[in-house]
Amino acid sequence: MKQPRQNGIGSDAKAILSDPLRNKGTAFTEEERDRLGLHGLLPNHVSTMDGQIKRRIAVLRAFSTPFEKYAFLRDLQDTNETLFYALLARHRSELLPLVYTPTVGEACVRFSEIYRRARGLFLSYPLKGRLFEILAALPNDDVEVICVTDGERILGLGDQGAGGMGIPIGKLSLYTDCAGIDPARTMPILLDTGTDNEELLDNPLYVGWRHHRVRGAEYDAFVEEFVEAVRKRWPRALLQWEDFAGPNAVTLLGRYRCRLPTFNDDIQGTAATALAAILAAERLAGIDLIERNIVVFGAGAAGCGIAELILGELVSRGLTREAALARIHAVDRDGLLIEHVNVVTASQARIARPHTEADAWLTQQQAPSLIETIERARPAVLIGTSGQFEAFDKPVIEAMTRHNDRPIILPLSNPAIRAEASAADVQTWSNGRAIIGTGSPSHGSNGAVTQVNNVYIFPGIGLGAVVSGAETITEAMFAEAAKCLASLVPDEDGDRLFPSTDHLAEIADSIALAVCRVAERDLGAIPPAGGWEDAIAGHRWAPVYRDPVSP
């Protein structure tokens, strides 16, 4: 491609306008229009960024559905990325549910309908053997954060194949918006290993590889080739795994966690978020976690990850692993998990009730259901990571309310149409006594309910990892991130667990600092001369217009 020269003479005006990172739209000044040869290619009006923000938000608000708004924002991101991020920073709480959960879920389902311009990398299985060659050909030498999915477990919406690309795009938008990672240094990736979603396979609009999912050794070899290509092309980049189906999520994390800076957001980011919510709720409810039981409903990638981090917290407070385990009751589709009875995965085996308790729990060889488990364990905390809509029904919430003054209820499954309960129902059925956090944005009678979503954690983990240069992302980083988030006192009164999403940038900075300190303590990372705080602040990319012909 023809490169613009420094003095602008001969610069390719159209290339500048079609590069989302250099385009300023109507904000190109008269001087820039003269210098870059933009006259005639733009309307007469010369705007400021502030004027552009006001115009864009007005246009956005005129659309009637969240999906239309999402498409409008994606279009803006693909044409003028600086303005997209300036708009997001100015109206974060309003726009977050559009660029992210829940609307991003619908955007993945309808991805092929609105596919327009290339963003990120689609590594399809037929390209196997050529992955490094493809990465090497990209101009992006300085990638700092990669988010990858294979689209098999998109939120609670199941297999969305190539449509899953909406998730890495959305997560990385938040890396930029919240953690200030330069958008040119982010890379969304979709590993297109097929789809078992028959509707997609039959849909003539589908843009992905029209093939059933590749599994087993072939899948593993493809992912291995991908990881090795990443390590060779971008040796320092952080690799975030997102929305892989439970078994792959766990296996891939185990395989790669010591080979490169990497983490699984659904397992580890979610665990830190849920632990932070529980620590904050523990204060509000005036209870001591050490003395109380916790029920996790849905023991997949997220549920098991949450249980493990809670176990770590209890052990750090002085309990043995065995005593801590006695506090956890994990319920999956066949009831309370009991060793050798209904455990399916290795992660479940680690948190199941021991087989020695089987006789005490089983009734006619049946493990207790959710409500039976609640009646017997009398938990203080109920967490939902099952993707089962309305599984926390009135009897479940009433049982939690009978056993607690302030039951802590966290239906974390996304999007809202997969949530175990709505905040409004939990409030009503608990007579307003429940302390509530939901995975997707929601409202109760007193306004917004805390969104207990890993967006509170992953931007800070990523920023901390990048700034500290950590070569491994450790469990201690997530434990410290959780404590850090729990310590940030919400500005509003009432039952809020975290500050509102308006504060996500400050939160990312605080968590990044906690991560850098763990990297220094445990991995020997050396703080820069000005200290970690300055390094974190200095790393922040800001959505302000720059000279489009600067290198």
Ligand X SMILES: NC(=O)c1ccc[n+]([C@@H]2O[C@H](COP(=O)([O-])OP(=O)(O)OC[C@H]3O[C@@H](n4cnc5c(N)ncnc54)[C@H](O)[C@@H]3O)[C@@H](O)[C@H]2O)c1
Is the preceding omega at residue 168 within 30 degrees of 0, hence cis?
no
Which of 32, 152, 243, 495 lies at the binding interface for Mg ion (CB under 5 A)? 243
> Would the annotation count 372 as a binding residue?
no
Paired with 185 in beta bridges are none
Residue 50 Cβ, how far from Mg ion at the closest point, in Å? Answer: 34
Phi, psi of 94 (to 5 degrees): -75, -40
Which of 32, 106, 177, 266 lies at the binding interface for Mg ion (CB under 5 A)? 266
Q: Using the rule CB under 6 A, is 32 a contact of ligand LMR?
A: no
Looking from the CA of 478 toward its CB, the CA atoms found within 13 Å total 27
> Would the annotation count 242 as a binding residue?
yes
Residue 490 Cβ, how far from ligand X at the closest point, in Å? Answer: 18
Q: Using the rule CB under 5 A, is 150 a contact of Mg ion?
A: no
Q: Using the rule CB under 6 A, is 418 a contact of ligand X?
A: yes
Residue 108 Cβ, how far from ligand X at the closest point, in Å? Answer: 12
Binding mask 426-445 for ligand LMR (x = CB under 6 A): -------------x------
Q: Is 256 a catalytic residue?
A: no
Per annotation, catalytic residue among 70, 85, 100, 206: 100
> Would the annotation count 406 as a binding residue?
no
Binding mask 369-408 for Mg ion (x = CB under 5 A): ----------------------------------------
R_g (Cα) of the chain, nearest Å? 24
Q: Using the rule CB under 5 A, is 495 a contact of Mg ion?
A: no
Do residues 382 and 392 touch, judged by C-beta distance below 8 A?
yes
Query: How many residues form the binding site for Mg ion (CB under 5 A)?
Result: 3
Strand order in the sheet with 238-241: 121-124, 186-192, 145-149, 238-241, 262-264
Residue 361 Cβ, how far from ligand X at the closest point, in Å? Answer: 16
Rounded Cα–Cα distance for residues 484 and 507 (Å)? 9
In SS3 terms, 197-215 reads as CHHHHHCCCCCCCCCCCCC
**Residue 434 or 457 with smaller CB distance to ligand X:** 457
Which residue is it, tokens 């308790």?
Answer: 357
> Would the annotation count 453 as a binding residue?
yes
Which letter, b or e, does each residue of 506-542 get, where b requires 16 or more Cβ atoms within 10 Å of its Cβ? ebbbbbbbbbbbbbeeebebebeeeebeebbeebebe
Q: Using the rule CB under 6 A, is 385 a contact of ligand LMR?
A: no
* Strand segments (E) across 392-532: 408-411, 435-438, 442-444, 447-451
Which of 186, 453, 501, 510 lies at the binding interface for ligand X (CB under 6 A)? 453
Rounded Cα–Cα distance for residues 247 and 197 (Å)? 18
Paired with 335 in beta bridges are 332
Residue 215 Cβ, how far from ligand X at the closest point, in Å? Answer: 16
**Residue 261 or 439 with smaller CB distance to ligand X:** 439
Which residues are within 8 A (CB) of 401 and not within 5 positions of it... i.e. 6 or more apart? 407, 429, 430, 431, 433, 434
Paired with 330 in beta bridges are 296
> In this chain, which stretch among 165-173, 178-186, 266-274, 482-490 interacts with ligand X, using CB under 6 A?
266-274
What SS3 class is residue 40?
coil
Residue 482 Cβ, how far from ligand X at the closest point, in Å? Answer: 13
> Would the annotation count 266 as a binding residue?
yes
Angle formed at CA 458 by CA 234 and CA 543, multiple of 5 degrees: 75
**Residue 32 or 177 with smaller CB distance to ligand LMR:** 177
Question: Which amino acid would we find at residue 483?
Answer: K
Selection from 389, 452, 399, 451 nearest residue 430 by Cα: 399
Q: Using the rule CB under 6 A, is 388 a contact of ligand X?
A: yes
Question: Which amino acid would we find at residue 550?
Answer: S
Which of 155, 479, 488, 508 lies at the binding interface for ligand X (CB under 6 A)? 155
Which of 348, 454, 468, 510 lies at the binding interface for ligand LMR (CB under 6 A)? 454
Do residues 73 and 98 touch, judged by C-beta distance below 8 A?
yes
**Residue 297 or 458 with smaller CB distance to Mg ion:** 458
Are β-strands 442-444 and 447-451 bridged in parallel, bridged antiparallel, or unpaired? Answer: antiparallel
Q: For residue 243, what is the DSSP state?
A: S
Paired with 331 in beta bridges are 297, 336
Residue 333 Cβ, how far from ligand X at the closest point, in Å? Answer: 4
User: And the tokens for 546?
Assistant: 């720059």
Q: Is 394 a catalytic residue?
A: no
User: Could you count the other beta carbons within 10 Å of the beta carbon of residue 405?
Assistant: 10
Residue 64 Cβ, how far from ligand X at the closest point, in Å? Answer: 26
Q: Using the rule CB under 6 A, is 453 a contact of ligand LMR?
A: yes
Annotated binding residues for (S)-malate, written as ranges, equal 153, 414, 453
Interface residues with Mg ion (CB under 5 A) are 242-243, 266
Q: Catalytic residue positions?
A: 100, 171
Residues forming the site for ligand LMR (CB under 6 A)? 101, 155, 243, 265-266, 414, 439, 453-454
Rule CB under 6 A: which residues touch ligand X?
153, 155-156, 246, 266, 270, 273, 297-303, 332-333, 385-388, 412-414, 418, 439, 452-454
- Give the residue numbers of the binding site for a divalent metal cation: 242-243, 266
| Known binding positions | 153, 242-243, 266, 414, 453
